[in-house]
Structure 1
């Protein structure tokens, strides 16, 4: 299904194959010979999404751009099942295995690999040909790649990246943080009420 969102429509190359249960919404450009499989959601929430040539977006993957962080996915990238990409730049020939999570402002270099359930955190930069092991967390710039049992070290690096400030414009110490966050984000998402299905 394709939707016009905020006046922008998806632009899909004629050789791309989009499953009938995939959702493509807003300012999305999909290149030649790309495959988007069942249940995938590609939604431009105020910022553009550009997907290159010969990309495979597998079942139930989520690709989301924001006004602050557009998404760019290079050529010959495999986005595995249940991968989540939010506002990131992905180089050419990257493999994102099942269940990986890529956060806002992240940059993944050409030829890199994020293995099953790996995480690339907010504003983290993976140089070319970097590998994140199964379930591990990549965080920061300069880059740290840590196992999930090293929560304190991950949090120490992550805290400086300021997730709530960067993504939502709110200070983590705000007394009613979740009230403000959900109300603000809800107003932004409510813009979908005017979306129009175009296929």
Structure 2
């Protein structure tokens, strides 16, 4: 399904494939040979998305573009089932495995791998060819890699990366009530969406 959102329509190459049940919304460009499979959601909320040539986005993956953090997916990239790429840049030939999450402001270099359930935190840069092991977390620029049981070490780096400011546009002191008030108002823009294809 193709959706006009915030006055912008997806632009899909005639040589790309969008499977039935996939949703592509807003300012999204899908290049030749790209394949968007069943249940994937590619949503340009208020920032653009580019899906490069020959890229494959598998079932139930989510790619989100945000203001100040477009989702720029290179050529020949694999984004696995249930993966989440939110306002990040993914270099050519990268592999984002099943269940992996890449957060706003992150950069995943060409040929890098974020393996099953791996995480690349906000404002983190993972170099070309680097590997985030299964379930591990990449944090910082350049990225440091941590196993999930090293929370205190992860937090020591992550705190300065400003997750609340980057993702929600609020100071760390903002409570969930304020964050959700803003999020509810932001996503109300979908009330005006129109199915265009």
- The verdict on a shared fold, with TM-score over 0.5 as the criterion, is yes
Q: Which secondary structure state, in structure 2, belongs to the residue aligned with residue 63 of structure 1? A: strand
Which residue of the partner structure matches residue 109 of structure 1?
A: 109
Which residue of the partner structure matches residue 13 of structure 1?
A: 13
Question: Is the Cα–Cα contact under 8 Å of residues 30 and 50 in structure 2 kept in the other structure?
Answer: yes
Structure 1, residues 61-100: CA drift from partner, whole Å, max 9, x if none?
Answer: 0000111210100000000000000000000000111000
Alpha-carbon deviation of 1:142? 2.7
Alpha-carbon deviation of 1:21? 0.1
Which residue of the partner structure matches residue 185 of structure 2?
A: 187
Alpha-carbon deviation of 1:165? 1.6
Distance 1:143 1:96 in 2: 16
Distance 2:68 2:32 in 1: 27
Distance 2:83 2:108 in 1: 14
Which residue of the partner structure matches residue 140 of structure 1?
A: 140
Query: 1:6-85 residue pairs with structure 2 within 5 A?
Result: 6-85=6-85
Which residue of the partner structure matches residue 197 of structure 1?
A: 195
Q: TM-score, normalised by structure 1?
A: 0.97
Distance 2:10 2:142 in 1: 35
Question: Is the Cα–Cα contact under 8 Å of residues 101 and 118 in structure 2 kept in the other structure?
Answer: yes
Q: Does 1:131 align with 2:114?
A: no
Distance 2:29 2:150 in 1: 38
Distance 1:53 1:165 in 2: 32
Question: Is the Cα–Cα contact under 8 Å of residues 127 and 142 in structure 2 kept in the other structure?
Answer: no
Which residue of the partner structure matches residue 169 of structure 2?
A: 169
Aligned residues: 197
Q: Which secondary structure state, in structure 2, belongs to the residue aligned with residue 3 of structure 1? A: strand
List runs of 5+ in structure 2 lacking aligned partners: none
Distance 1:43 1:65 in 2: 6
Distance 2:4 2:113 in 1: 33
Q: Which secondary structure state, in structure 2, belongs to the residue aligned with residue 155 of structure 1? A: helix
List runs of 5+ in structure 1 lacking aligned partners: none
Distance 2:143 2:69 in 1: 20
Alpha-carbon deviation of 1:169? 1.9
